[in-house]
Structures are given as structure tokens and as C-alpha cells.
């Protein structure tokens, strides 16, 4: 699957087209560049020519490699905040979302529960505004005296070891999968939980610092496999919501407040990174996650 972020064009393509798209950069010349011919040497030369001509045609039609300026008014995908954020910060975030999403209150994602009481205050404030609230749980969230669950949310993702204890704590409860950045092995675990009926999942690095070291090739490939599997499940009516955005977990741990930092102006997937990118490799993984979710959403819509 390919998606042009600016035009919104999405399509299923063959292997050679998918690989060629990864090598091309603007401006696209009239004839296939010699460097591309070299990169595609294992394919028949005539097929390479035809593939390039098809891509160039889509580019001229405004579908692929569009160079539209970044739309600062594009609706926020979600408001991502740590549990230590202030209620004023949440209010500013929701107001911005209101202004940029046709009056709809953007979903709120709280990326940790280090401060449970503050997290509950934020959950209630967001719910009062009509926002859908998702919480990524990092520690126990029950009252020590009554064992009552303390957070008011629509979706709750908990560590694997706590899933059974919290499976009825919110309208939708899912599993958080910790992974090794260099050997994530997510696909088998996602499939196992999905087959067991768990339809909400999230993944986060067991070593958050590894996410900024630039050694994420294995993770990017694994997320691609997971995205393909989830796409097929969605087409078969067995959809699974996979939220691989917990790489901002490290930012939350550091007390980073997404709305006190300068927002990145280069990524059309606004706020998937909390507006606080830490490295080019980190950004690449986040964008890969976002692309996968957008493709799933587009293809889940009968109109697409």
C-alpha cells in the first residue's frame, strides 16, 4: 500500500512500484533516472521503464509526490499528553483541536499514569469536554483501600501482566506489548492476542533510550509486517486497534508537555509524536506507524 500524505491518494501496488517509490525524489525527470535503473537492476528493464512511466503519470496528475505546502490547519489526529500535564494545558490543547477539527473534540491520549490523581483530574476534564480518552497505564491505578479503579476513560491499555486484573476496568481494555527495539518480535504476539479476542493493543520499547540511538531498522520492518496483518484482518471484519505510539512514553517520563514545545511543521501526521521529535530515526518509526493507521482507516471506509 502507498499513501501520498498531501494529496490523500492511496492505492495497492506491486512490489517493483513499491520499491521504486522509496528511491525516487523530486523533481521527477521525463525519463527514468539511471540511478533508479541501477537500483532496480534485478527487474526487467522494460518493466522498470513502464513502472517509472506509471509513477510519473500519477505525479503529473497530482496523486504522488505532491509538493503541497504543509497545512497547519489540518485537524489534530489526537492530543497526546503525559499525566503530569496541567489542566490549563489540556484546555489549550482541546481548544486548538476544536478550532481545527470542524467542531469535533479531538481524542485525548494520556501516555502514562505516573501521577494517578492528576491523571484522573485530566480524564474527567477531557470527558466533560466530550473528548474520547485513552490511557496508557504504566503503574497500578486502584485505590489501595477500596481496590476501586481510579481513572475515568473510554479505552485503557495495560501491561500484559495486568490484563486479567483490569480487563473490565473500562469500556475497552487492551494489552501493552513491551519490545526490544533491535528484536521486537511483535507480529506473533499481536496475532496471538487478536486470535484470543483482544482487539486493542499498543507497543512500547522496554528500553526507551534505545529509541533515540538510530538502530531501529528491525522495528520499522516489524511494524510493516504488523500493519499488513492488521490490514488483512480489517478487510476480513476482524479488525484490531493497534496504537504503536508509546514511543512518546520517554517524553512523558521526562515531564515533556507537548503543548509547551514548538510543533514540528514538516509532518502531516500532526501530534503522533506529541510535537516533540527526538531523532530522525524516531520520527521515521512514528511516521511508519501513522501511515499504517491511516491506510487502515481509509480502507475500513466503504467509500474508499
Instruction: Write down the pLDDT at residue 289.
Output: 58
E strand or H helix that includes residue 78: none
| Position 19 confidence tier, pLDDT thresholds 50, 70, 90 | confident
What residue ranges of the chain are covered by domains with CATH 3.20.20?
79-300
Q: What percent of the chain has pLDDT over 70?
A: 68
Name all contacts of 253-256 with Cβ < 8 Å and 24+ positions apart: 253/82, 253/112, 253/114, 253/208, 255/82, 255/84, 256/82
Separation of alpha carbons 53 and 183, rounded Å = 38
Instruction: Write down the pLDDT at residue 208.
Output: 66
Residue 283 has pLDDT above 70, yes or no: no
Task: Name the one residue in this structure whose C-alpha cell is 473528548.
Answer: 131
Question: What's the pLDDT tens digit per position in 59-113?
Answer: 887 778 776 554 555 555 566 777 777 888 788 777 765 544 455 666 777 877 8
Q: For the ranges 76-85, 118-127, 234-243, 247-256, which has the lowest average pLDDT? A: 247-256
What integer is the mean pLDDT of 230-249? 72
What integer is the mean pLDDT of 142-155? 90
Of the two residues 243 and 153, the one the predictor is more confident about is 153
Of the two residues 272 and 135, the one the predictor is more confident about is 135
What integer is the mean pLDDT of 38-51? 90
| Residue 119 and residue 83 in contact, taking contact as beta carbons nearer than 8 Å | yes
Instruction: Write down the pLDDT at residue 89.
Output: 79
Residue 301 has pLDDT above 70, yes or no: no
Instruction: Write down the pLDDT at residue 235.
Output: 78
Of 159, 172, 161, 287, nearest to 227 by C-alpha is: 287
Best-predicted range by mean pLDDT among 89-103, 133-147, 261-275? 133-147
| Position 278 confidence tier, pLDDT thresholds 50, 70, 90 | very low
Residue 245 has pLDDT above 70, yes or no: no
| Residue 281 and residue 239 in contact, taking contact as beta carbons nearer than 8 Å | no
| Position 272 confidence tier, pLDDT thresholds 50, 70, 90 | very low
Name the CA radius of gyration of the chain, rounded.
Answer: 21
Residue 273 has pLDDT above 80, yes or no: no
β 10-11/200-205 pair status: unpaired
Whole-number mean pLDDT of the chain?
Answer: 75
Of the two residues 10 and 249, the one the predictor is more confident about is 10
Q: In what order do the strands lie in the sheet with 79-81?
A: 79-81, 108-110, 133-136, 155-159, 172-179, 200-205, 241-243
Residue 162 has pLDDT above 80, yes or no: yes
Question: What's the pLDDT tens digit per position in 169-217?
Answer: 999 999 999 888 888 899 999 999 999 999 999 888 787 666 555 566 7
Best-predicted range by mean pLDDT among 191-205, 211-225, 233-247? 191-205
Separation of alpha carbons 264 and 96, rounded Å = 16
Q: Does domain 79-300 have CATH number 3.30.420?
A: no
Amino acid at each position: 500500500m502507498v499513501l501520498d500524505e498531501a494529496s490523500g491518494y492511496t492505492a495497492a501496488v506491486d512490489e517493483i512500484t513499491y520499491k521504486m517509490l522509496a528511491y525516487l525524489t523530486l523533481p521527477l525527470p521525463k525519463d527514468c533516472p539511471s540511478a533508479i535503473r541501477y537500483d532496480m537492476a534485478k527487474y526487467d528493464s522494460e518493466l522498470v521503464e513502464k513502472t517509472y512511466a506509471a509513477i510519473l503519470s500519477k505525479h503529473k496528475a497530482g496523486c504522488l509526490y505532491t509538493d503541497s505546502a504543509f497545512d497547519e490547519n489540518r485537524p489534530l489526529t489526537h492530543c497526546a499528553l503525559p499525566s503530569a500535564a496541567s489542566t490549563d494545558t489540556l484546555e489549550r490543547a482541546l481548544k486548538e483541536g476544536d478550532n481545527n477539527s470542524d467542531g469535533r473534540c479531538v481524542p485525548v491520549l494520556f501516555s502514562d499514569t505516573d501521577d494517578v490523581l492528576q491523571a484522573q483530574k485530566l480524564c474527567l476534564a477531557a470527558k466533560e469536554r466530550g473528548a474520547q480518552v485513552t490511557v496508557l497505564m504504566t503503574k497500578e491505578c486502584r485505590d489501595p483501600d477500596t481496590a476501586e479503579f481510579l481513572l475515568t476513560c473510554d479505552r485503557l491499555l495495560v501491561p500484559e501482566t495486568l490484563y486479567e486484573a483490569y480487563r473490565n476496568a473500562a469500556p475497552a481494555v487492551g494489552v501493552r506489548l513491551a519490545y526490544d527495539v533491535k528484536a521486537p518480535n511483535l507480529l506473533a504476539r499481536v496475532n496471538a492476542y487478536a486470535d484470543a479476542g483482544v482487539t486493542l493493543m499498543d507497543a512500547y520499547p522496554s528500553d526507551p533510550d534505545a529509541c533515540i540511538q538510530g538502530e531501529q531498522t528491525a522495528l520499522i520492518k516489524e511494524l510493516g509486517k504488523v500493519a499488513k496483518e492488521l490490514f488483512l484482518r480489517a478487510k476480513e471484519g476482524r479488525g484490531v486497534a493497534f496504537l504503536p505510539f508509546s514511543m512518546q512514553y520517554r517524553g512523558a517520563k521526562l515531564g515533556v508537555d507537548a503543548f509547551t514545545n514548538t510543533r514540528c511543521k514538516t509532518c502531516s501526521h500532526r501530534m503522533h509524536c506529541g510535537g516533540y521529535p527526538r531523532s530522525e530515526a524516531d520520527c521515521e518509526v512514528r511516521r511508519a506507524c501513522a501511515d499504517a493507521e491511516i491506510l487502515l482507516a481509509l480502507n475500513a471506509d466503504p467509500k474508499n
